[in-house]
Chains A and B, each alone.
Chain A
């Protein structure tokens, strides 16, 4: 009997699993999904409404929500979009196909290897919910221990929904060999899905069954349970059963995935794509091809026969005259602006931003866009406070992550020695990274503010700009200034971005734990988490708040100063070890 793990399909499948195990993305997704599960379990509607957190109804509801909202299609695209593109980029594909491997084996191995990884990541959500049964909060309703509903709803709602998305993204990525096309498609998922749902309204249920990848159309058409009008006891005892329509939808989605992969099989080829011809002439660089360098020793030396030493007149051909300026403040400012410009260009090419920004934006305005807004001081104040609180986690993450990426990018791309050999002062190199992250986070804050105001406009709530300006500039901006500066300092001192990520996660986790148990003071709370409300910003406490924010700005300046003093600008053995480059002698 053939052991499936020893087949060619098995080899490709496990190679994909192994390759993904070396990437950061799957682990990041697992952590994110587990964190979501904890959030929905402990702070979701179940606790407030007395619903059992492990009832069939609530598990099914969570899986549905996870499938469409938090298991974002863009995450599916991250895993499924570029497995074949990677092989083409690395030039591995020709090596693979020099073995007796069929296209079908290769494509199926690639697809299922990556889909397996995706399902493993998503299962972190289900497993976390499953294990949380053992540690209920005080007052939380929990039914006797169960396992099957988690598996059943996860398979039916999450896995099959993402199977069709995975097949589409994999097909598009492989055929176009362009990961951006896949990310673009994933980013357009919601507009397309919502538009499709609206367009299909007048049509019969069968259309919804056949065209809804997430199965919600079919599900909502038969779902008799409207949770908000039912008692907790009823919902806790309710068993979710799948109608034949929904089963037909799921079956159809599996068939569609197979069709998608079959189309890919028919169209896939490993031949090189015709690219636009480079207008590149192979003319000799020597301007003295017609002349011979006057040297009596040339015949004695073993020189390349094709080499002709240029005449000295050619060698001393004058360059355009340039004025070199180094020392003045304005010239250093110009260097800083140049470095900042490059940082922006590089940030623009960051793929993670395509994923992170829309997600952060959606989650930051989720509360004010889809739930009832009760004005405390004013509508705008409530919108500003809620969005500021919702943005906090993303701002911390962005400050730490993008500072780390910027600080280590030069070393990873091996451009550091060239830049370090230029007469750019240390503060130019450091501040450009710091300011780039800062401007990125400020842009995110501004964008969220604009979206929140637009939401207010759509919901016809009266708009004032001042609460946004007050909240964002007093509470958020000093916080992100400190976080970016602190991150710069840590990156300089630790010289390893993963160590910095681990350290900041540890520090952040510990601090938020202390805040949550009541040990919360402004002197070690840079974001003023749970230490302010809008009334503080408009009342007599404003001076106190401003003084506390100034304290954090001073600390930020100290961090930058320390980073400047400790910035090594030397390629020591240690730096190379951390950067993964061998130390050459």
Chain B
């Protein structure tokens, strides 16, 4: 069963990051966060939501780049919002939109970030950069100027810089947006390998398969509020034997849509393919049961709200 926001995680000891009643309204009057609360355990945590849901605002607050109007975010007993310097020491941040100095090389860029993160010893820094470049498969492009990097290479360098200094909190904001499928899988592999039991990795995304692939826990956010927190498995169990599909003539579709909980509707070869949720019984004879996906869970919640 999925839990509404604020409910407790089964294993209380695993919680590392606690967000309480976080609110943020921008000067233009847009209320980006409406007092959200979340408990984030160690490992990969997916924050799933459509564009404009408030994900980036939350990520920026956790990365000390934005101050909330109210609320707290505590990690291992200290407040991330108040003690910003300490937060930055344990933070690895990959923003959704970020740039690189185009005239520098990958090594120069990582070396710079390593120094800023406090890796003062030259030899250690050298080993770390070599290992990072190897990990993100950029060793052969180490002396190439960043201006010539493709989108995927830039993202991988971005995650490499976020991993410097063994951060305890890694905030990754929509890292796969704009990547082609091959690069996306490559990036998923990389993220999965970097997640460890010691760190909290928050992955913000609007792509359901990102969360399905990577996260052991997730939350769904929309309009600045958390709609649900769950594990992907619990989410799927919630919809078990409740998702149905049927392909019907176009003229029948409106009537079916009006009395069924429709989660998606696609036109295929002049007919309409409907995907609906019905927990009690088969909606009608045309419908056949299908295995639920995380996308069904997400769309069900989002369309409902």
Contact = CB atoms under 8 A, between A and B. Distances in A.
A208 B302 CA distance: 79
Nearest to A417: B95
Given A314-B193, A414-B99, A415-B98, A323 B121 contact: yes
Nearest to A318: B131
Contacts of A583: 26
Contacts of B232: 297, 301
Contacts of B93: 417-418, 421
The contact size tier of chain B is 35 or more
Given A315-B194, A322-B125, A324-B89, A422 B117 contact: yes
Given A300-B291, A322-B165, A573-B26, A306 B185 contact: yes
Contacts of A308: 189
B185 A304 contact: yes
Contact of B236 (A300, A417, A584): A300
A280 B140 CA distance: 6
A339 B116 contact: yes
Given A285-B189, A320-B127, A335-B115, A584 B63 contact: no
A331 B185 contact: no
Contacts of B158: 418
A145 interface: no
Contact of A421 (B53, B63, B193, B195): B63
Contacts of A307: 185, 188-189, 213
B193 A302 contact: no
Given A306-B185, A419-B116, A421-B88, A319 B193 contact: no
A315 B141 contact: no
B208 A302 contact: yes
Contacts of B79: none
A420 B26 contact: no
Interface string A409-444: 000011101111111110010000000000000000
A281 B232 CA distance: 34
Interface stretch (B12-20, B54-62, B269-277): B54-62
A571 B119 contact: no
Interface stretch (B27-35, B69-77, B252-260): B27-35
Interface stretch (B2-10, B101-109, B281-289): B101-109
B38 interface: no
B209 interface: yes
A538 to B, nearest CB: 45
Contact of B212 (A287, A302, A417): A302
A418 B112 contact: no
A552 B285 CA distance: 87
Given A301-B293, A345-B104, A323 B119 contact: yes
Contacts of A317: 193
B137 interface: yes
Contact of A581 (B89, B97, B104, B117): B97
A333 to B, nearest CB: 10
Nearest to B119: A322
A315 B193 contact: yes
B22 interface: no
A48 interface: no
Interface in B140-177: 140-141, 144, 158, 161, 163, 165-166
B118 interface: yes
Contacts of B196: 315-316
A335 B128 contact: no
A567 to B, nearest CB: 13
B192 to A, nearest CB: 6
Contact of A585 (B32, B63, B85, B181): B32
Contacts of A415: 98-101
A393 interface: no
B27 A574 contact: yes
A325 B118 CA distance: 5
Contact of B116 (A280, A304, A316, A423): A423
A338 B186 contact: no
Contact of A319 (B104, B117, B131): B131
A342 B105 CA distance: 11
A417 B189 contact: no
Nearest to B95: A417
A585 B26 CA distance: 9
Given A570-B65, A573-B27, A278 B141 contact: yes
A420 B103 contact: no
B52 interface: yes
A421 B65 CA distance: 7
B77 to A, nearest CB: 19
A335 B88 CA distance: 15
A284 interface: yes
Given A324-B165, A418-B161, A297 B233 contact: yes
A285 B136 contact: yes
Contacts of A301: 212-213, 232-233, 236, 293-294
B56 A303 contact: no
A521 interface: no
A374 interface: no
Nearest to A301: B212
Most buried by A among B64, B116, B192: B116
Contacts of B115: 334-335, 338
Contacts of A300: 233, 236, 291
Contacts of A422: 88, 113, 116-117
A321 interface: yes
Interface string A549-583: 00000000000000000000111111000000101
A281 B192 CA distance: 21
Interface string A188-218: 0000000000000000000000000000000
A194 B112 CA distance: 45
B295 interface: yes
Contacts of A281: 137, 140
Contacts of B125: 322
A417 B98 contact: yes
Contacts of B63: 417, 421
Given A283-B137, A418-B93, 19 more contacts: A300-B236, A303-B213, A304-B213, A307-B188, A308-B189, A310-B193, A314-B193, A320-B131, A334-B120, A338-B116, A345-B108, A415-B99, A418-B158, A419-B116, A420-B64, A421-B88, A422-B88, A425-B85, A572-B27
Interface of B: 26-28, 30, 32, 52-54, 56-57, 60, 63-67, 85, 88-89, 91, 93-104, 108, 111-113, 115-121, 124-125, 127-128, 130-131, 135-137, 140-141, 144, 158, 161, 163, 165-166, 181, 184-186, 188-190, 192-197, 208-209, 212-213, 232-233, 236, 291, 293-295
12 contacts: A284-B189, A285-B136, A286-B193, A315-B192, A338-B115, A345-B104, A418-B95, A418-B158, A421-B93, A572-B27, A583-B26, A585-B53
